[in-house]
Amino acid sequence: MTSVSIRIAAANGDGVESSGALLGKVAALYGMEVFGNRGYQSVIRGGHVWNQVRIGDEKLYSYGDKIDILVTLNQDGINNQRGHLSENAIIIYDPSKCNIDGLNGTTYRLIPIPLLDTAVAAGGDPIMRNIVAIGAILKIVGIPMSVFEGVVKKMFSKKGEDVIKSNMKAATDGYNYQGVNRSYDIKGDGKPRYLVEGNVALSLGAYAAGCKYYAAYPMTPASGILHWFAAHTNKGVLYKQTEDEIAAINSTIGAATAGVRAMCGTSGGGFSLMVEALGLSGMTETPIVVVESQRTGPSTGLPTKTEQADLLFVMHASQGEFPRIVMAPRSVEEAFYLTADAFNLADRYQCPVIILMDLFISEHFETVSGFDVDSIKIDRGKIADQGGASGRFKRYELTADGVSPRSMPGTKGMAFIAPSDEHNEYGDIVSDILAGIGEHVAMRVKMHEKRMRKIATMLKNESVFVPVVQNEDAKHFLVTFGSTTAVATEAMLALNKRGLSVGLISFNYLLPLDAKKTKAILNGKHLIDVECNFTAQLAKVIMMETGIEIPDRILKYDGETLDCGEIVDKVTAMLK
């Protein structure tokens, strides 16, 4: 496999994010594989930011360890990124903005380009210096300008011909600038790919599954979901930016009670506010989907950095006991399919389903060949078609599998009460201050047992609540969940090339967990836990469910993602 990692670094507000996205789209259109990520601060403008785009001729699982090409628009780019450069990195810089005296005598290849002056001379805004740099990058990696032109025409068609021409002029000047030569032989296969962000894939999965209501209060890194729904109001989905997260989840419960598929989303801080209402969903057996995209904590923490420290929180959030499902997509593609499955599972078992994302998987982008929308089947679960003989509907009927028939509001003879208190089969509140205390206590036991029977039903009917094994004949296994799985996959492949026998065991459905089958999969293997938190929360879940302890651990909690090199070096040291 041949790949190159390109990082564009500048100040917040200099167009770094849009530049990285543009470069990724061009490479994807040319038939290359793309994996990108960005680093930014929680300020409106200013502060050092970067966007890294890795392109290659085979499937990519991370945005790369080292920077092969650095485009820096200011001195901070050199000062902050030098430690991330590969040995023979190419540095494209504006000599009027950067002092490179400290780079003399290094093995780096320095390409000075007057980015700002070239952009202005092309008839463009100063922010178009990024476009000049992209033109140079296209020459270095071997992407024809004709591909860039197609993307620019599509992106700027509404802004007029003059804008398209100025962008083309700026990029062409960078492409043809003296000293810019092709340095990488990465060939696209000619099959255009889609470049998709995790939040977008999740939103598309919800839409494909028939989601008709989305509610949220904006909170990084889940805000992208709200942005998607707001931009697609013509798709028959109502979105609501609520006054807070409490209103978001309560309105979602209301929408689901009214019969529509409904979802809300937030980060850890917002989910803290949703916790009480999560229990309301459990008690009323209302099927909702909740997205929790993790960032560092506690409190505000690092609001633009990633972490996987909310696993135990979402598994045990809210008072009392009730069935819930927790899933954690491992890739952008899986965010689409798992989200669609979340709605079916919520309806099938009439419980809340939590999709555990994090900043990295929510906001990074990668190429996909497309999503098989036709494969998404909608299952609304048990829907009753008539009421009881007495004219009252047993919404919470005691059943062997724990799942009671639902009714859709407005159906004749099927009215019901959905109380937050414990209740009987009709929804009448059970109170210990009324007559017949013993009878009410017995009903509490029956209702609680009925709800909890859903867990056994899930494990019996669904095959997904076990980890997925790759390279099952290996001697050593990395153990991951969610977003760390992709980079762990790349590390596994790299370790195998070094002659080490390493496999991967990854979790995407975490609750409920089929303890018996999971124990059989893990038992007798040398396991190395890999996750982005301090307390090894996945390892704790495994210990709690199976009794298997994983003492060997690779943990990261500085807000940055794990990279392949880190895992490879630490595993190699462990196995010496």
What average pLDDT score do residues 211-234 get?
A: 96
Smallest Cα–Cα separation from 365: which of 502, 565, 202, 154?
202
Q: Is the pLDDT of residue 316 over 70?
A: yes
Distance, C-alpha 312 to centroid of its chain: 18
Q: Is the pLDDT of residue 46 over 60?
A: yes
Considering the domain architecture, whether residues 208 and 348 belong to the same structural domain is answered as yes
pLDDT in tens, 188-197: 888 999 999 9
Q: What is the CATH number of the domain that holds 334?
A: 3.40.50.970
pLDDT above 90 coverage of the chain, percent:
85
Considering the domain architecture, whether residues 44 and 110 belong to the same structural domain is answered as yes
Band of pLDDT at residue 104, cut at 50, 70 and 90: confident
Considering the domain architecture, whether residues 433 and 531 belong to the same structural domain is answered as no
Considering the domain architecture, whether residues 565 and 493 belong to the same structural domain is answered as yes
Considering the domain architecture, whether residues 536 and 489 belong to the same structural domain is answered as yes
Evaluate whether 9 touches 16 at the Cβ level (below 8 Å).
yes
Smallest Cα–Cα separation from 503: which of 532, 480, 533?
480
Q: Is the pLDDT of residue 566 over 90?
A: yes
Residue 84 has what DSSP assignment? G
Look at residue 44 in the predicted model and tell me its pLDDT: 74
Identify the burial level of 273 via C-beta atoms within 10 angstroms of its C-beta, where 0-12 means exposed, 13-18 middle and 19 or more buried.
Answer: middle
Q: Which amino acid is at 251?
A: S
Distance, C-alpha 491 to centroid of its chain: 20
Of the CA atoms within 13 Å of residue 397, those in its CB half-sphere come to 18
Structure tokens at 195: 């470049």
Structure tokens at 12: 């917040």
Any bridge partners for residue 481, and if so which?
507
Look at residue 42 in the predicted model and tell me its pLDDT: 85
pLDDT in tens, 53-65: 999 999 999 999 9
What average pLDDT score do residues 102-108 get?
A: 89
Averaged pLDDT of the chain: 94
* Least confident stretch, 122-131, 272-281, 296-305, 308-317: 122-131
3-state SS assignment for residue 37 = strand
Look at residue 388 in the predicted model and tell me its pLDDT: 55
Band of pLDDT at residue 496, cut at 50, 70 and 90: very high
Considering the domain architecture, whether residues 145 and 202 belong to the same structural domain is answered as no
Element (H, E) at 292: strand 289-294
Considering the domain architecture, whether residues 22 and 150 belong to the same structural domain is answered as yes
Considering the domain architecture, whether residues 171 and 140 belong to the same structural domain is answered as yes
- Interatomic CA distance for residues 84 and 7, integer angstroms: 10
Look at residue 532 in the predicted model and tell me its pLDDT: 98
**Domain containing residue 14:** 3-192
Any bridge partners for residue 244, and if so which?
none
Considering the domain architecture, whether residues 208 and 90 belong to the same structural domain is answered as no
Evaluate whether 230 touches 316 at the Cβ level (below 8 Å).
no
Give Cα separations from 285 to 209, 384, 443 (angstroms). 20, 15, 16
Look at residue 474 in the predicted model and tell me its pLDDT: 98
Query: What DSSP string runs through 300-354?
Result: T--TTS-----HHHHHH-SSS----EEE--SSHHHHHHHHHHHHHHHHHHTS-EE
Element (H, E) at 502: strand 502-507
Look at residue 386 in the predicted model and tell me its pLDDT: 66
- Interatomic CA distance for residues 176 and 179, integer angstroms: 9
Band of pLDDT at residue 95, cut at 50, 70 and 90: very high
- Interatomic CA distance for residues 148 and 496, integer angstroms: 37
Q: Is the pLDDT of residue 438 over 90?
A: no
Band of pLDDT at residue 235, cut at 50, 70 and 90: confident
Structure tokens at 277: 């209402």
Query: What DSSP string runs through 133-175?
Result: HHHHHHHHHT--HHHHHHHHHHHTGGG-HHHHHHHHHHHHHHH
Looking at the structure of the chain, the number of domains it has is: 4
pLDDT in tens, 388-434: 555 688 999 999 999 999 998 888 888 889 999 999 999 999 875 55
3-state SS assignment for residue 39 = strand
Element (H, E) at 246: helix 245-257
Query: What DSSP string runs through 504-521?
Result: EEEESEEES--HHHHHHH
Residue that finishes a domain, picked among 343, 375, 407: 375
Q: What is the CATH number of the domain that holds 510?
A: 3.40.50.920
What average pLDDT score do residues 291-303 get?
A: 96
Structure tokens at 260: 């529509």
Identify the burial level of 535 via C-beta atoms within 10 angstroms of its C-beta, where 0-12 means exposed, 13-18 middle and 19 or more buried.
Answer: middle
Q: What is the CATH number of the domain that holds 161?
A: 3.40.920.10
Distance, C-alpha 6 to centroid of its chain: 22
Q: Is the pLDDT of residue 447 over 90?
A: yes
* Least confident stretch, 73-77, 414-418, 549-553: 414-418
- Interatomic CA distance for residues 368 and 355, integer angstroms: 21
Look at residue 126 in the predicted model and tell me its pLDDT: 86
- Interatomic CA distance for residues 183 and 566, integer angstroms: 27
Q: Is the pLDDT of residue 440 over 80?
A: no
Evaluate whether 332 touches 358 at the Cβ level (below 8 Å).
no
Give 486's contacts (C-beta < 8 A, 6+ positions apart).
61, 62, 330, 331
Evaluate whether 500 touches 522 at the Cβ level (below 8 Å).
no
Length of the chain: 576
Band of pLDDT at residue 41, cut at 50, 70 and 90: confident
Considering the domain architecture, whether residues 170 and 242 belong to the same structural domain is answered as no
Look at residue 122 in the predicted model and tell me its pLDDT: 87
Residue that finishes a domain, picked among 192, 219, 252: 192
Alpha helix positions (H), 30-160: 75-81, 115-121, 129-141, 145-155
Beta strand 3-11 pairing with 553-555: unpaired
Considering the domain architecture, whether residues 317 and 390 belong to the same structural domain is answered as no
- Interatomic CA distance for residues 64 and 86, integer angstroms: 11
Considering the domain architecture, whether residues 266 and 353 belong to the same structural domain is answered as yes
Pick from 178-187, 201-210, 230-239 the range whose average pLDDT is largest: 201-210
- Interatomic CA distance for residues 184 and 176, integer angstroms: 16
Residue that finishes a domain, picked among 167, 192, 217: 192
Evaluate whether 453 touches 322 at the Cβ level (below 8 Å).
no
